[in-house]
Structure 1
Amino acid sequence: MAKMQRNTILVVLSFFAIYFIWGSTYLWNKIAVTELPAFMLAGIRFVIAGSLIFIISKLLGFPLKISKKQFKNTFIAGFLFLTFGNGVVVWALKFVDSSFAALEVSAQPLVVLLMMRLLQGKKIQPMSIIGVFLGITGIFLLVGQQEIIAQEGAVLGMVLIFVCMLSWSYGSLFVGKADLPSNFFVNTGYQMLSSGLSLLIVSTLLGETWSSPHTWSSPVIWSMALLIFLGSIVTFTAFNYLLRIVSPEKVATSSYVNPIIAMILGWYFLNEEITLQSVIASFILLTGVYFINTKKQLTIFSRFTGKRIPKKMVD
């Protein structure tokens, strides 16, 4: 019983991390990317975080040895989540506000659902179909704002974030079934270190201008520190942990909270404008996400249709 209680607490803390801390990373990345090249920023962040995870793992006595297959899978997962999924999002933040990026990313549960249907043949429940419709409507309202589209590079930023969503969503499905290191901390370390090195290679190939930390402003240094310790080590470990014990759809519910946190922080610290259309779009989009993820959807549907739904389909 004590063991179950510890697991429950760990799950709650992990969800807190992916809900609130992850929502704050949009602000930290936006601050850092105003001074630093995107791929260099992401690469340094993950190389340092991954190295620290290995040092901590060694001190705690966690075995670092993994099989070739596990190494291959951690590299693939790291690429989908971090090298491409995160590195390109940081790049996109050069063109769009942090709050807008978070709102667009909130459509991830919709993408996960559609991928599960296309790749795994999972049936889409009736209420989820409504959720998909609402989600698409919300995204259309969000990205269709003329004052945002008119900004230089905004369309490119929107497209980049959408492609990253595809990468993250497929990564969520991949990690759920892949043979990965049993220790979630070690698993995170391999993903981060391999991705960080890959991002630094990409940065070099793109000719980004690197700079020494002693030239960075205080806000950038603080943002980088928070990204490394909270946004990387704590949150991504929690993310990997949750993906192995709960369904990808439940993990994707962080999209409910992330955009709200990002909008508030972007408005307060960066004076980012929150338009009425963005508020309406976020309400419609998050309502759609709720319909996609709610476990009550079959029960609700049965009340409207009068059809009895087998209990095993609701569980």
Structure 2
Amino acid sequence: MKNSKLLIIAAFFSIYFIWGSTYLFNKIAVTEIPPLFLGGIRFFTAGVLIMLIARFMKISLKLSKSQFINSVIAAFLFLVYGNGVFVWALKYVDSGFAALLASTQPLFVLFLLRLIDGQKMQRKSVIGVLLGVFGMYLLVSQKEISTSEGSVLGIFMILSCVLSWSYGSVFVSKADLPKNYLVSTGYQMLIAGFLLGVSSLIFKETWISPLSWSNKAQVSVTVLIIFGSIVAFTAFNYLLKVVSPEKVATSAYVNPVIALLLGWYLLDEQLTEQSVIASIILLTGVYFITSRKRIAKIKVTTKSQKI
């Protein structure tokens, strides 16, 4: 029991802090690497490494037909659309602002749980979401946050990505996937890498050799592959099976705070008093959602999902 709690804490640390840094690294990489090609090479490489690790650990890689189909669906919702299009939108939207838009995810998750499962939203969950949205508003309403040309399209696409990721969270929480979280992540990464690679060719992106990338881009992609893809995404899949989806979605509240701090520390971006206040409100929202009374998990995880 103690080891299980420590594992859950470590997994939350991964999706909170590691994923909070990926906005910065994606922004650096996408300035010189085509977005779909970036996602394809990132996820396919991560998938190959994960499968090699699984083989080394003598973990079975077998999966049923239904598990393969569900892996394709999860890969599309999370990585192909949810992440690939999100990174594309970073060409038009500031990374910190994109992270703030992503913080609306818990609201999407709670709404989907209500719509799909008829799950009643508890008072603490509603308070948490309202605090999170209010904190996001305080951050977004600052004059210091600027957007580039094409930002309206970027914002719309990012919100659609948040919806895709949110539905993926609900879907995976009860879908039949490989029991081992490493194997499940590996298959999703390989599938997404292949689909993004094909998409890159369809949209006629220019494929650039990694040897031609700048040092910053090479470091950023390496971090995204090892930590953002392998470590954090495996932790994410694990958490979706052991805690409720809306608790996992609280990472969308913490990630913007991490993104803002990294932007301030590494890119000399201004961190205002209003940003600090907004961050405190966001984290308070996290507390309210994670401290809600536990709803019977059986209803969430065993009910069949129809697509």
Pairing partner for 1:228 from 209, 225, 228: 225
Higher radius of gyration, 1 or 2: 1
Which amino acid is the alignment partner of residue 212 of structure 1?
A: S
Which amino acid is the alignment partner of residue 122 of structure 1?
A: Q
Decide whether the 8 Å contact of 1:110 with 1:289 is kept in 2.
no
Q: Give matches, 1:234-313, under 5 Å.
A: 234-274=231-271, 282-295=279-292
Pair 1:149–1:264, CA change in 2 (3 A): closer
Decide whether the 8 Å contact of 1:82 with 1:195 is kept in 2.
yes
Decide whether the 8 Å contact of 2:82 with 2:161 is kept in 1.
yes
Residues 1:176 and 2:165 are matched in the alignment: no
**Alpha-carbon displacement from aligned partner over 1:250-277 (angstroms, at most 9, x marks no partner):** 1112223211111111222233445666
Unaligned runs of 5+ in 1: 298-315
Pair 1:149–1:160, CA change in 2 (3 A): farther
**Alpha-carbon displacement from aligned partner over 1:178-204 (angstroms, at most 9, x marks no partner):** 000001100000000000110111111
Residues 1:192 and 2:189 are matched in the alignment: yes
Decide whether the 8 Å contact of 2:89 with 2:157 is kept in 1.
yes
Residues 1:67 and 2:46 are matched in the alignment: no
Unaligned runs of 5+ in 2: 295-307
Give SS of 2:173's match. helix
Decide whether the 8 Å contact of 2:41 with 2:193 is kept in 1.
yes
Q: Percent identity?
A: 60
Give SS of 1:35's match. coil
Pick which of 39-48 and 52-61 moved more: 52-61
Q: Give matches, 1:1-315, under 5 Å.
A: 4-140=1-137, 142-143=139-140, 151-274=148-271, 282-295=279-292
Give SS of 1:85's match. helix
Q: CA RMSD in A?
A: 2.2
Structure 1 residue 24 displacement after superposition: 0.9
Structure-1-length-normalised TM-score:
0.86
Question: What is the alpha-carbon distance in structure 1 between the residues aligned to residue 290 and residue 8 of structure 2?
Answer: 18
Decide whether the 8 Å contact of 2:247 with 2:289 is kept in 1.
no
Question: What is the alpha-carbon distance in structure 1 between the residues aligned to residue 195 and residue 178 of structure 2?
Answer: 20
Question: What is the alpha-carbon distance in structure 2 between the residues aligned to residue 116 and residue 10 of structure 1?
Answer: 26
Question: What is the alpha-carbon distance in structure 2 between the residues aligned to residue 110 and residue 257 of structure 1?
Answer: 14
Decide whether the 8 Å contact of 2:132 with 2:253 is kept in 1.
no
Question: What is the alpha-carbon distance in structure 1 between the residues aligned to residue 10 and residue 134 of structure 2?
Answer: 33
Question: What is the alpha-carbon distance in structure 2 between the residues aligned to residue 5 and residue 146 of structure 1?
Answer: 46
Count of residue pairs brought into register by the alignment: 294
Give SS of 1:86's match. helix
Pick which of 267-276 and 8-17 moved more: 267-276
Structure-2-length-normalised TM-score:
0.88
Give SS of 2:82's match. coil
